[in-house]
Amino acid sequence: MKEIENYHQLLGLEWGATIEEINQAYRDLVFIWHPDRLPRDNTRLLDKATAKIQQINQARQGLLCWQGKRESASQQKPENNNKQEQPSDRVNWVGLNLRKRDLSGYNLSLANLSYADLRDSFLPKANLKRANLAGANLNGANLLQANLEEANLEKANLISADLSGANLRGANLQNTQIISGKRLMVKLTGALLDGAILPQEIRHFQKAKP
């Protein structure tokens, strides 16, 4: 928890800041410390600015993950399905480095995770209904029994991902990376694929089954 306090202080935020406040503080500080605003011949300031940007990025990512987990926990007993999806509607993690993060059971329905780095992330039973995962790197991700109904996975990297038992009804899997050599490199055992837009490789392997 001390680390979370430090992240708040680094970004100049009050405890429990919203995702919108976190992103705004991040943008303000990046504008101030961006190396392009400094004289190119002042290596001392450039090095200091580069280090500061790295700290700001780390603080933002840490707080976004922490805040997302808090919102997910607060929705564990929703009164109805609509309320379950409302909080994650604000989650915008486009291009974030979420590698090896434990997001199991998170409510990320409607979230924007396009081009996020989710390599080796842990997402079993996560709610990703209608989430945007276009171009995301899910190499080695654990999505066991995750809800990906109507999710957009177009051009996502699913090599070595485990989607066993996942709900992929109505999901868009066009142009996903799932083949290495001539081998299908994604686990879909027991996955629900009704109405999903499948890449040709999956359709080929389905037809090839005895």
Q: Tens of pLDDT along 11-35? A: 998 887 888 888 888 889 888 888 8
CB atoms within 10 A of CB 12: 11
Backbone angles phi, psi at 179, to 5 degrees: -115, 135
Task: Dump pLDDT digits (tens) for 93-108.
Answer: 888 889 889 898 899 9
Backbone angles phi, psi at 172, to 5 degrees: -100, 110
DSSP assignment letter at 134: T
pLDDT of residue 19: 81
The pTM of the full predicted model, rounded to 2 decimals, is 0.57
- Per-residue pLDDT at 143 exceeds 70: yes
C-alpha count within 13 angstroms, C-beta hemisphere, residue 149 = 8
- Helix %, strand %, coil % of the chain (to 5): 35, 10, 50
Q: pLDDT value at position 127?
A: 94
Residue 5 reports pLDDT greater than 60: yes
**Identity of the amino acid at 130:** R
Residue 151 and residue 126 in contact, taking contact as beta carbons nearer than 8 Å: no
Taking a C-beta distance cutoff of 8 angstroms, is the pair 175, 199 a contact? yes
Residue 122 has pLDDT above 90, yes or no: yes
**Which of 73-77, 87-91, 138-142, 183-187 shows the lowest mean pLDDT across its residues?**
73-77
Span 40-86, pLDDT tens digits: 888 888 889 888 888 998 888 888 877 766 655 554 444 444 434 44
At 164 the pLDDT is 94
What does the pLDDT read at residue 88? Answer: 41
Q: Give the type of residue at 184.
A: L
93-104 residues labelled b (16+ CB within 10 A) or e (exposed): beebebeebebe
CB 138 within 8 A of CB 121: yes
Look at residue 73 in the predicted model and tell me its pLDDT: 53
Q: Which domains does the chain have, with CATH numbers?
A: 2-74 (1.10.287.110), 89-210 (2.160.20.80)
- Does the pLDDT at position 205 exceed 70? no
Nearest to 106 by CA among 146, 163, 151, 164: 146
